[in-house]
Amino acid sequence: MSKKEVNFSTDSIRPANGYGPILRPTARETYSLRQQIFELVRASGRIARSTIARTLDISPGSVTSLTAELIVDGFLREVEETAREASRGRPPVSLELVSNALYVIGVKLSDEKHTATLTDFGGNALASASQITNADKKSANELLIETEILIKKVCERANIDQNSISAIGVGISGIVNYTTGVVTWSPLLEKLDVPLGNVFSTHFDTPVCIDNDANVLTLAELWFGAGRALSNFAVVTIEHGVGMGFVSDNRLFRGAHSMGLELGHTKVQLDGALCRCGQRGCLEAYLADYALAREASTVLTMTPDQSKNLNESLKDLYKMAKFGDMASQKIFKRAGRYLAVALSNIIHLFDPKLIILSGRPMQYEFLYDEDMQSEMRTLALYESRYDTQIEIQSWGNMVWARGATALALTELTKTVVVEGR
């Protein structure tokens, strides 16, 4: 297993080499030529027309005509490259996105702290903001009010008028129908089947795309991170829940009803521990941070205190494990075994090239040490034991919101750039 540490901040993100998925030919086939060209320019950062023609295997005339349309529409512009020798005449001309053509906001709604990032059309994160919240279940209107405060804050920091925002992407934990914007269930909401997308888009008078938070984290990897050049990879998130996102042929998989890959609610123990979804025996009930805290209170006779900072409790538990406390180590090792079961199942079901493990608990190496890896290999079929690469990704809190901007940018690419709506 290779360990990859990444420190995320909005200041460090400047997509000089482009952003967005680097599409394989098979992934481009369903797109119009106009979209194929736009996606290629975005992924490249800066590219010449001749290179576009060769890459897409289309005529130079088609490239000239379609890029001219995109320039007139204000999405692309010509830039002169630096010539190596002045005697060669005029420097070659390339194309790039017009950064200030559109602006989007990505929001991650959480039970501890909401986060938001404002991004321009060139993929530059211009400002970020956060808003402390609480773990109480809320109505849709209460979540809307908290989101409105957050969006106002991030617009002020970027010095961008809120009316200039063309789309908003939102990530939230739970079961989310991306197509309809209905949140079937979320630990953040009081009720079931909440049409949160419609509530938000009506209030903000702009397109709002809502998806499961594990999916938006996967989009962050696909658009800005380790998955850009990969056609097939999975992301497993372990925080207050356990989630999963999967990319196949450069595209995020959601399932027939846009509610697939709820890894945390797959069953690992019949009539087992109580999960926060209300059912028993879910993977999440043995692996999420609240599950680790529950085990700590039982094994170490700690008094469960919901007002105590959960992260601090886990840090204390980790310190005890590092100092050799066997009971503390046992808690992490047991969770690591359940993680091994989950990863081996992912390998059997999807055969991914890469699995990225992400989330705060991944700072505790007992979860992913050699014992866990050995258990995973033992559970995997022989031919698949060593082919799937595992990486640990240690992003900051804003990566979730950053991934949510990809939701908004995807919507604008389809409706504004391609369809002209």
pLDDT at 302: 60
CATH of domain 101-219+399-418: 3.30.420.40
* Dihedral angle, C-alpha 252, 5, 345, 387, nearest 10 °: 90
Q: Is 256 helix (H, G, I), strand (E, B) or coil?
A: coil
CA 46 – CA 18 distance, rounded (Å): 7
Sequence-ordered alpha helix ranges (H) in 181-212: 196-204
* Cross-strand pairs, 4: 393
DSSP state at residue 194: B
pLDDT tens digits, residue range 90-127? 668 999 999 999 999 999 999 889 999 999 998 899 99
Beta strands in 160-308 (DSSP E): 165-172, 175-177, 182-185, 208-212, 232-238, 242-248, 251-252
How much is the pLDDT for 1?
38
Residue 166 has pLDDT above 80, yes or no: yes
Q: Where in the chain is the domain with CATH 1.10.10.10?
A: 7-99
102: closest CA among 80, 79, 118?
118
- What kind and span of H or E run contains 3? strand 2-4
Task: Report pLDDT digits (tens) over 318-332.
Answer: 888 888 888 888 888
Separation of alpha carbons 62 and 67, rounded Å: 8
- The confidence score (pLDDT) of residue 381 equals 78
83, 118, 133, 200 from 169: Cα distances, Å? 40, 10, 19, 10
Query: Which letter does DSSP use for residue 166 in this model?
Result: E
CATH of domain 230-394: 3.30.420.40
Cβ distance 112 to 187 under 8 Å?
Answer: no
CA–CA separation, 169 vs 23, rounded Å? 22
Between CA 369 and CA 68 the distance in angstroms is 54
Counting DSSP H helices and E strands in the chain, the numbers are 13, 15
pLDDT of amino acid 389: 86
As annotated, the residues of the chain forming the CATH 3.30.420.40 domain(s) are 101-219+399-418, 230-394
Mean pLDDT calculated for residue range 229-247? 90
CB neighbours of 377 closer than 8 A, spacing ≥ 6? Answer: 385, 386
Q: Is residue 55 within a helix (H) or strand (E), and if so which, with residue range? A: helix 49-56
pLDDT at res. 366: 66
- Residue 384 has what pLDDT? 56
pLDDT of residue 2: 37
Structure letter (DSSP) for residue 187: T
**Amino acid in position 381:** L
Specify whether the CB–CB gap between 394 and 362 falls below 8 A. Answer: yes
Task: Measure the CA–CA gap between 420 and 418, rounded to whole angstroms.
Answer: 6
CA distance 244 to 212: 9
Instruction: Record the tokens describing residue 165, joined without a space.
Output: 């925002």
Residues paired with residue 170 on neighbouring β-strands, in sequence order: 107, 210
pTM equals 0.88
- The pLDDT of residue 143 is 96
| Cα–Cα separations (whole angstroms), residue 224 to 12, 15, 27, 236, 411 | 12, 8, 18, 17, 17
Q: 242-248 and 103-109: which strand pairing?
A: unpaired
Residue 267 has pLDDT above 70, yes or no: yes
Q: d(Cα 266, Cα 26) in Å, to the nearest integer?
A: 31
Closest CA to 113 of 128, 130, 129: 130
Specify the CATH class of 7-99 in words.
mainly alpha
Q: What percent of the chain has pLDDT over 90?
A: 56
Distance CA 142, CA 190 (A): 10
Q: Tell me whether strands 354-358 and 389-393 are parallel, antiparallel or unpaired.
A: parallel
**In sequence order, which ranges of 92-195 are alpha helices (DSSP H)?**
140-158
- What percent of the chain has pLDDT above 70? 88
Distance CA 404, CA 104 (A): 9
Determine the Cα–Cα distance for residues 272 and 107; give it in Å rounded to an integer. 34
